[in-house]
Amino acid sequence: MTTRKRLVVLTGAGISAESGIRTFRDMGGLWEEYDVMEVASIDGWKKNPQLVLEFYNQRRRQLPAVEPNAAHKALADAQNLFNVFVITQNVDNLHERAGSKNVLHLHGELTKARPTGNPSKIIDIGYNDIKWGDTVDGYQLRPHIVWFGEEVPMMNEAIKLIQTAEIFAVIGTSLNVYPAAGLLDYAPKGCPIYLIDPNDINIWRRDVTVIKEKASVGVPKFIEMIKNE
């Protein structure tokens, strides 16, 4: 019996957009009519934490109504063929709900919170609101989200995973947001790299196979392409 190959994928907003989750980059810096720096930066939190809490409460309330799409499901089904590891820039839980077992969230998770004074204490809150005055250990709860102006604590774990990849794919991300955009360069030498996106992406490497399709079409096509590798 042959050992299953390690398939590592990096997913971005494009894969969730097809499920109906809007992305601020598609709206000129506005996210649900909010200026992104007001609601997704550490400075925005310091300036108006109640606004930030309500913004993420709205996102969280909408999440149960959104369903995984064909791209999420294809990656989950690929676990029957490969050892699949998903690194996602998305804060939704659609990969998990589709059935993916190994999911690393680079930018946090909408269904989790943490006290401001203890970043390592991560609490599962499901789809419940966080209210101003909700505290743990005497500290205000905040969304477990990596905002602009904050370090990305899972970056080293993501790099380690990509360095072990035998096949690497980037799905639905513009590769414009650093440090996540730099992850492409950690794929091992000789590792096949695929990019799945309907848009023209500026790729600085020549060893990338581009599948110019939206994720729900491109991911099943990609799995079909690699299933005999």
Active-site choice (72, 95, 105, 107): 107
Reported pTM:
0.92
Q: Please, are residues 5 and 229 in contact by the beta-carbon 8 Å criterion?
A: yes
For residues 155 and 153, give the distance between their C-alpha atoms in angstroms, rounded to a whole number. 6
Please give the average pLDDT of every successive group of 10 residues along the chain, which has 229 residues.
Answer: 85 92 60 79 97 94 96 98 96 98 97 96 98 97 96 95 96 74 88 92 78 96 91
pLDDT of 174 reads: 73
pLDDT of 23 reads: 65
pLDDT of 1 reads: 42
Q: Is 144 a catalytic residue?
A: no
pLDDT of 177 reads: 64
